[in-house]
Amino acid sequence: MTETTVRPSDATGGHAATGIGPGAPVLAFDVGGTTIKAAYLDADGVPATILRTPSPAFGPASAQGVLDSVVELSRRLTPPGAAPEAIGLTLPGIVDDETGFATYSENLGWRDVDFAALCASRSALPVAIGHDVRSAGTAEMELGAGRGHRTAVVVVLGTGISAAVFVEGRPVVARGYAGEIGHAVVVPRGEACVCGNQGCLEAIASAAAIARRYSRMSGREVAGAREVLHAMIQGDRVASVVWDSAIDALALGLSHVVSLIQPEVIILGGGLAEAGEHLFGPLEERLRSMLTYVPAPALARASAGENAGLLGSALLARRALARAGTERGVTG
Ligand SMILES: [Zn+2]
């Protein structure tokens, strides 16, 4: 097993959140398609180190593999004499944060796994289960660009496109299906999508789609959306067409979200958000031009940092503890 340990300040850079603030000590896990990040956060809410270990191999046994890692890493990360009070476990795929039930993981291969029950059988600590985008969104709302807002959408623009939706201060979960904006059709009978549909937002505007569409249209293979952006800046017409159509698709998809829930802010993260003004400028302009009846929300760049999912896990663990305390109080 190859592992790396990083100091959080190395990993998150100067401006990102480095902790969750004072409270109960907790263990936090963020399970991705290839890597599990894990940390112990002391009463100051700061992870001393962040351990990265490979995710289990794809297949139905991966759920047990995740739990084995949680048990093993919990033992190793807890300093001598320390007593973490809860565990936060963030998972990829379709996950119901409220029941702890994971319906499906495309990357790790499990189906219909009751993580809440399995964790309870393996650990004496209260466990909060989270979904990767919603956990990162929770960190964004409490520690990053969403601070002070109650209704907001956090959109991750990466290989795919997914969102965390917060309405009146609460995440919208919908059994794990809320926020799948990447598979909303924005071009009828458009580009084929991995989901089997056509014209999905992520088939046109994700970082992967921008690179793929440019490679196909120009006949020049590029490794990523960053190369397409550079080509556009240097006056490449095909790159401009691809980039503009991605911005149009994003504006259209987001305009519907705005009409439905009127977020105070739309927070954009993921690799594509690194395009900065080349993304935010034209997107804001087009979104405004589409919204004549309702106010256009502010656009903001995600700022909780690359460990947002892990910090979100820790925040969920603290909440689970608060909930358990309340329940104990109510029942005497
Ligand atoms: Zn799709």
Residue 5 has pLDDT above 50, yes or no: yes
* Distance between Cα 276 and ligand 1 center (Å): 25
148-301 has which CATH code? 3.30.420.40
* Distance between Cα 285 and ligand 1 center (Å): 26
Tell me whether domains 4-137+306-331 and 148-301 share a fold.
yes
* Alpha-carbon span 21 to 76, nearest angstrom: 23
Contacts 24+ apart (CB under 8 A), 103-109: 103/175, 103/176, 105/62, 107/32, 107/33, 107/34, 107/55, 107/58, 108/31, 108/33, 108/55, 108/56, 108/58, 108/59, 108/62, 108/63, 108/66, 109/58, 109/59, 109/60, 109/62
* Distance between Cα 198 and ligand 1 center (Å): 7
52 CA to centre of own chain: 17
* Distance between Cα 209 and ligand 1 center (Å): 12
* Distance between Cα 201 and ligand 1 center (Å): 7
* Distance between Cα 329 and ligand 1 center (Å): 46
Question: Judging by DSSP bridges, how do beta strands 50-54 and 35-41 pair with one another?
Answer: antiparallel
Was domain 4-137+306-331 assigned CATH 3.40.50.970? no
The overall average pLDDT reported for the chain is 93
* Distance between Cα 225 and ligand 1 center (Å): 19
DSSP E strand boundaries for the chain: 4-6, 26-31, 35-41, 50-54, 86-91, 94-96, 101-104, 111-114, 127-131, 152-157, 161-167, 170-171, 265-269, 298-301
The 10s digit of each residue's pLDDT in 61-74 is 999 999 999 999 99
The 10s digit of each residue's pLDDT in 8-25 is 444 334 468 889 999 999
* Distance between Cα 327 and ligand 1 center (Å): 41
pLDDT band at 323 (very low <50, low <70, confident <90, very high): confident
Using DSSP, state whether 91 is helix, strand or coil. strand
Using DSSP, state whether 89 is helix, strand or coil. strand
Residue 220 has pLDDT above 90, yes or no: yes
Amino acid 329: pLDDT: 66
Q: What percent of the chain has pLDDT over 70?
A: 94
* Distance between Cα 66 and ligand 1 center (Å): 27
* Distance between Cα 86 and ligand 1 center (Å): 36
* Distance between Cα 257 and ligand 1 center (Å): 17
What residue ranges do the domains of the chain occupy? 4-137+306-331, 148-301
* Distance between Cα 236 and ligand 1 center (Å): 28
* Distance between Cα 18 and ligand 1 center (Å): 34
Amino acid 242: pLDDT: 98
